[in-house]
Amino acid sequence: MPQTTPQISPAETKPTLPKLSSFMALLKTSATDYGEHFWKYLGLQLFPVIFALPLGIIMGIFSNISGKGNTPNLILTTSLGIAGAVFFIATIILSLYAQIAFLIAIKNPNKKTKELFTEAKPLVGKYFSTSLLVGLMVMAFFI
């Protein structure tokens, strides 16, 4: 009678788990990554801040005009309010773009900044809705 080798079914094989890196190895890797790409990461985070400067200037002028008991000019305060709202919404959208581009830059550090923002564009709506949903859930469970 011929000898047959027992067949091992795939369910009987135990998968090997990947070994996790140590804390010091992860710290060293992240430090070198941030060191090599510091200026790109800083630029991605400063982009919405630089765009928010006109918002601060507009709101400063708005509060200076409407404060101190003066009767403000209706056209001026309305136009400053509308410009402030536009810059506020644009700053929020740009900060979402920058956050997504930053996450993509961490994943693919060799991409150019323009490529990062291009890749981030279709993800802004999903990122915003997820952030909004998480914020609402945190507020709901806090109450």
Asked if 111 contacts 104 with a C-beta cutoff of 8 angstroms, the reply is yes
pLDDT at residue 6, as a whole number? 61
pTM of the model: 0.68
DSSP reduced 3-state for 21: coil
Q: Smallest Cα–Cα separation from 79: which of 64, 58, 57?
A: 58
DSSP reduced 3-state for 110: coil
The owner of tokens 């009767």 is 71
Q: Tally Cβ neighbours within 10 Å of residue 120.
A: 21
Q: Is 68 left (phi over 0), alpha (psi -120 to 50) or beta?
A: left
Torsion angle defined by CA atoms of residues 117, 120, 125 and 130, in that order, rounded to the nearest 10 degrees: -130
64-97 pLDDT, tens per residue? 776 666 666 777 778 878 888 888 888 888 899 8
Asked if 124 contacts 97 with a C-beta cutoff of 8 angstroms, the reply is yes
Mean pLDDT by 10 residues, the chain (143 residues): 62 74 89 88 86 81 69 74 85 89 89 89 91 94 86
Q: What are the residue ranges of helices labelled H in the chain? A: 23-36, 38-66, 74-107, 113-120, 124-142
Query: How many Å apart are CA 77 and CA 71, to the nearest integer?
Result: 10
